[in-house]
């Protein structure tokens, strides 16, 4: 069965770097993968990417060395189980504010005895290059399950969230965390002591629990800072921002050159 190199690198204490996919197109995802990211996440919460397109994207990523993750649209069985059945190697689940929410994720994301994920589907054994029963027996060990901490309430409960068996770690949503305390993003970054204390709390609690902390950084400088704080599953921007940013720079450079 195909192994998950990201999970093994995280277990070894390494840092892995990925990015966000918001375009509903397999070719665009394959182009992103060619850059050499460790992982790429198919965003079905804010993409928005429908299930059929997400399946094509995960299949395209499986032809590369990049490990595919999916963010389902909500913390619900109807979203989590279909996302996993695409054949991804990890999920990041939104809307987790306490241990009860985290246990709900485990129920939907893990096969028995940890959870109640249903067996079935064609894509998972194909994606993992194995048979259906081997996938069932080993999926709990290969799939990374992260839950989002994106509110002040979730930060207060992060220790209990991390203590839930079957949760590999937490992923801090910096923009929504700022929104939950009525602040603007990215204005709070390195300028608001209360906000930065919450960021440090998430990283420190994950380290104490022996689990992973993730973060979506805007750029390399922010990625360096969050790595210093202890985050090891680090996302950097996303396909939409890269396209818009590169297009804007090319247009500005051309206009300047033609003056």
Q: Which residues are catalytic?
A: 46
What Cα–Cα distance (Å) separates residue 43 from each residue in 21, 170, 238? 6, 17, 10
Q: What is the largest CA-CA distance in the chain?
A: 68
Cα(135)–Cα(124) distance, integer angstroms? 7
State the DSSP H helix or E strand holding residue 108, giving kind and residue range, or none if neither.
helix 99-109
Decide: helix, strand or coil at residue 9. Answer: helix
Cis peptide bond prior to 113, omega within 30° of 0 = yes
Q: Rounding to the nearest 10 degrees, give the CA dihedral for residues 198, 80, 20, 136.
A: 110
Phi, psi for residue 234 in degrees, rounded to 5: -115, 120
What lies within 8 Å, CB to CB, of 5 at 6+ separation is 38, 67
Which residue shows structure tokens 């081997």?
A: 134
Cα(83)–Cα(73) distance, integer angstroms? 9
Q: Cite the beta strand spans of the chain per DSSP E.
A: 16-21, 39-43, 67-71, 90-93, 144-149, 169-172, 212-217, 233-238
């Amino acid at each position: 069965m195909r192994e998950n190199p990201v999970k093994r690198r995280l277990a070894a204490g390494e840092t892995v770097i990925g990015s966000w996919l918001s375009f509903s197109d397999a070719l665009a995802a394959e182009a992103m993968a060619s850059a050499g990211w460790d992982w790429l996440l198919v965003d079905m919460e804010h993409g928005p990417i429908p299930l059929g397109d997400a399946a094509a994207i995960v299949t395209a990523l499986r032809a590369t060395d990049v490990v595919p993750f999916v963010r389902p649209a909500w913390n619900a069985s109807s979203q989590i189980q279909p996302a996993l059945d695409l054949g991804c190697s990890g999920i990041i689940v939104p809307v987790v504010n306490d241990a009860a929410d985290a246990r709900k994720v485990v129920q939907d994301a893990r096969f028995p005895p940890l959870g109640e994920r249903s067996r079935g589907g064609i894509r998972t054994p194909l994606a993992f290059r194995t048979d259906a029963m081997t996938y069932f027996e080993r999926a709990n060990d290969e799939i990374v399950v992260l839950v989002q901490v994106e509110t002040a309430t979730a930060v207060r409960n992060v220790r209990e969230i991390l203590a839930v068996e079957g949760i590999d770690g937490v992923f801090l949503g910096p923009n929504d965390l700022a929104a939950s305390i009525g602040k603007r993003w990215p204005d709070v970054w390195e300028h608001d002591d209360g906000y930065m204390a919450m960021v440090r709390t998430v990283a420190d609690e994950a380290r104490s629990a022996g689990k992973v902390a993730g973060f979506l950084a805007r750029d390399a400088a922010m990625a360096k800072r969050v790595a210093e704080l202890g985050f090891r599953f680090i996302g950097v921007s996303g396909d939409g921002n890269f396209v818009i940013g590169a297009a804007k720079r090319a247009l500005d450079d051309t206009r300047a050159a033609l003056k």
